[in-house]
Amino acid sequence: MKQIAWELEHSVEADVALSFAWTWRTDVTTWDDPPATFQLDGPFASGSRGATLLPGQKPLRWEIRDVRPDRMFITEMPLDRAILSFEWRFEAVSDRRTRITQRIVLSGHNAAAYECDVRTSFESTLADGMKRIADAMARADGTSGGGGNRR
């Protein structure tokens, strides 16, 4: 069982169909979190590896796990005796609306060494970041008029 040191979860609703939300979010070219850029080596599938690139820093490597099309996926970033995971879940609210949930979990024997940095990085930004994603999805879809609403 995972030894969880810290976790945070937030959901938004996007004015897009579930299939659109899934396709858009699993296309790393849509991942927009400046100044970071993202690369994926291979298909978006369990076991594929990628990296988050930040100016002046070594690439932050991660691996895709537990891909369940139209339902969920997890990216895991290995740290020194710890893991930072990002679980994304997708749920149809209606034909044209999807609830998207991101759960961030820091776990492992050495997780305490990373807790302060992870808290600082995500606690104040997760809600706004999720709203930006929902709004970007709605704009990219072009068939709906609104953006994401916090839930």
Query: Which domains are seen in the chain, by residue range?
Result: 4-150 (3.30.530.20)
Contact present, 8 and 123 (Cβ < 8 Å): yes
- Grade residue 149 by pLDDT with cuts at 50, 70 and 90: very low
The pair of structure tokens assigned to 120 is 């600082």
Note the residue count of the chain. 151
22-38 pLDDT, tens per residue? 999 999 999 988 899 99
When mean pLDDT is compared across 28-37, 50-59, 131-140, the lowest value belongs to 28-37
CA distance 17 to 4: 33
What mean pLDDT do residues 106-120 have? 95
Give 108: exposed, middle or buried? Use CB within 10 Å, 0-12, 13-18, 19+.
buried
Question: Whole-model pTM?
Answer: 0.90
- Alpha-carbon 93 to chain mean position: 19
CA distance 62 to 13: 26
Q: Tell me, what amino acid is at 117?
A: D
